[in-house]
């Protein structure tokens, strides 16, 4: 009888103490500032961001980050301009295009995300001695005109003495994210340019083979960056700083840990990807030095970006670095 009574008392005590704990958790959640981050794609390529989310680094900075995938820089830009998103993560070329069009509230890049391209050239067969000139006369599934994947691809072709318009056929009609399925289902194309996990998936299926890394062959390129409206940054500098602080912690984790450890942390973000594949992809990006040690968007990188835009015929007039980039938040976070 006494044992039953003790058990009942314990149950009541647990129930009573659980209520204040739940209330405290709710209050703590209320204290967090909620912001919306719209990313161009949900990719292992952006590992430091997912580390920051999974390790709670943004929450440590008092932020509750709602992550939304825009599926394209144009859609991320629309969300930013409309106020649907507070922060955008995409190629910085989008901010240059908006500036060219006379944006009233320019989109400012305040942190650089990746320093190499994240896509790979996939062939039908293994090509251990692949050269970019092997693409002459071939059909390649490429990216959207004016987008970073396509422009970096064309930049590499030109660096290797090829004319993207004359020396090969680049199919730009297929939607981003659908090229791998198109490549697997239609043998009319010889190569496809793919992000992960699509490149590795094609290899595992035996449908394709990675023969080159656009990230390695294009060199250090400011492929993606974090940006926000000028007005938002001016009104919320402390939010931007806290966001960059949390992100910097993610960058430092990636720099200090192995691909296996990184993959284990970000695994909840990619439930459809098995551990072995996830580690393989992280290692592929890790080995090619994809992630910077800090988030500072250097002027030389911005000028290289505009060189690529000019080469692709997408830039009518160059923008001044100071007009579209600020480094104050990234510099503070790096200290």
In a shared domain, residues 235 and 330 = yes
Half-sphere exposure of 171 (CA within 13 A, CB side): 20
Give, rounded to a whole angstrom, the gap between the first and last alpha carbons of the chain: 64
- Do residues 324 and 238 share a domain? yes
DSSP string computed for 255-301: HHS-HHHHHHHHGGG-TTS-HHHHHHHHHHHHHTT-S-SS----HHH
Helix, strand or coil, per DSSP, at residue 179 = helix
**95 in any annotated domain:** yes
Look at residue 186 in the predicted model and tell me its pLDDT: 87
In a domain, 180, yes or no: yes
Domain membership of residue 6 (yes or no) is no
pLDDT at 17: 58
Do 261 and 112 lie in a common domain?
yes
Quote the pLDDT of residue 321.
96
Please, what's the b/e burial string for 175-200 (b: 16 or more CB within 10 A of its CB; e: otherwise)? eeeebbebbbeeeebbbbbbbbbbbb
- Whether 12 is covered by a domain: the verdict is no
Q: Are 270 and 69 in contact, with CB atoms under 8 Å apart?
A: no
Last residue of a domain, one of 176, 193, 218: 218
Question: Are 84 and 182 part of one and the same domain?
Answer: no
16 found inside a domain: no
In a domain, 26, yes or no: no
pLDDT score recorded for residue 63: 98
pLDDT, residue 197, reads 86
Same domain, 208 and 130: yes
Assign residue 139 the CATH number of its domain: 3.40.190.10
Single out the residue in 203, 218, 233 at which a domain terminates: 218
pLDDT in tens, the chain (335 residues): 544 545 555 555 555 555 554 444 454 556 999 999 999 989 999 999 999 999 999 999 999 999 999 988 899 999 999 999 999 999 999 999 999 888 889 999 999 999 999 999 999 999 999 999 999 999 999 988 888 889 999 999 999 999 999 999 999 988 777 899 999 998 899 999 998 889 999 999 999 999 999 999 998 999 999 999 999 999 999 999 999 999 999 999 999 999 999 999 999 999 999 999 999 999 999 999 999 999 999 999 999 999 999 988 898 889 999 999 999 999 999 98
pLDDT value at position 5? 46
Same domain membership, residue 288 and residue 320: yes
For residue 21, the model assigns a pLDDT of 47
Domain of residue 69: give its range. Answer: 32-116+221-334
Q: How many CB atoms lie within 10 A of CB 256?
A: 9
Pair 231, 324 in one domain:
yes
> Do 292 and 327 lie in a common domain?
yes
The answer to whether residue 328 is domain-embedded is yes
Question: For the chain, how many structural domains are there in total?
Answer: 2
Q: Is 307 in the same domain as 191?
A: no
Same domain, 137 and 235: no
Last residue of a domain, one of 218, 252, 268: 218
The predicted model scores a pTM of 0.85
Q: Is residue 229 located within the same domain as residue 324?
A: yes
Residues 129 and 43 in one domain: no
* Residue 84 forms part of a structural domain: yes
């Amino acid at each position: 009888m006494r044992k039953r009574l003790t058990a009942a008392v314990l149950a009541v005590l647990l129930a009573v103490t659980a209520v204040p704990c739940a209330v405290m958790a709710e209050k703590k959640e209320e204290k967090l500032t909620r912001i919306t981050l719209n990313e161009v794609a949900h990719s292992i390529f952006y590992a430091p961001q997912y580390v920051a989310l999974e390790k709670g680094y943004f929450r440590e900075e008092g932020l509750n980050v709602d992550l939304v995938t825009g599926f394209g820089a144009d859609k991320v830009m629309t969300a930013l301009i409309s106020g649907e998103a507070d922060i955008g993560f995409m190629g910085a070329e989008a901010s240059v295009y908006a500036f060219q069009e006379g944006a009233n509230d320019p989109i400012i890049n305040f942190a650089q995300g990746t320093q190499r391209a994240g896509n790979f050239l996939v062939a039908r067969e293994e090509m251990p001695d692949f050269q970019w000139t092997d693409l002459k006369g071939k059909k390649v599934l490429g990216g959207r005109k004016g987008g970073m994947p396509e422009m970096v691809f064309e930049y590499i072709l030109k660096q290797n003495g090829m004319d993207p318009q004359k020396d090969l056929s680049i199919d730009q009609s297929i939607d981003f994210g659908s090229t791998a399925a198109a490549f697997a289902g239609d043998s009319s194309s010889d190569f496809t340019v793919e992000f992960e996990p699509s490149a590795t998936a094609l290899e595992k299926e035996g449908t394709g083979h990675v023969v080159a890394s656009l990230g390695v062959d294009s060199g250090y390129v400011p492929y993606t960056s974090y940006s926000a409206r000028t007005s938002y940054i001016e009104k919320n500098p402390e939010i931007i700083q806290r966001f960059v602080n949390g992100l910097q912690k993610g960058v430092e984790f990636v720099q200090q840990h192995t691909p296996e450890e990184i993959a284990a942390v970000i695994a909840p973000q990619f439930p459809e990807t098995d551990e072995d594949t996830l580690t393989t992809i992280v290692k592929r990006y890790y080995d090619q030095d994809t992630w910077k040690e800090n988030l500072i968007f250097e002027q030389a990188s911005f000028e290289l970006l505009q060189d690529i835009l000019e080469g692709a015929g997408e830039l009518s007039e160059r923008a001044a670095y100071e007009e579209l980039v600020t480094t104050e938040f990234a510099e503070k976070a790096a200290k």
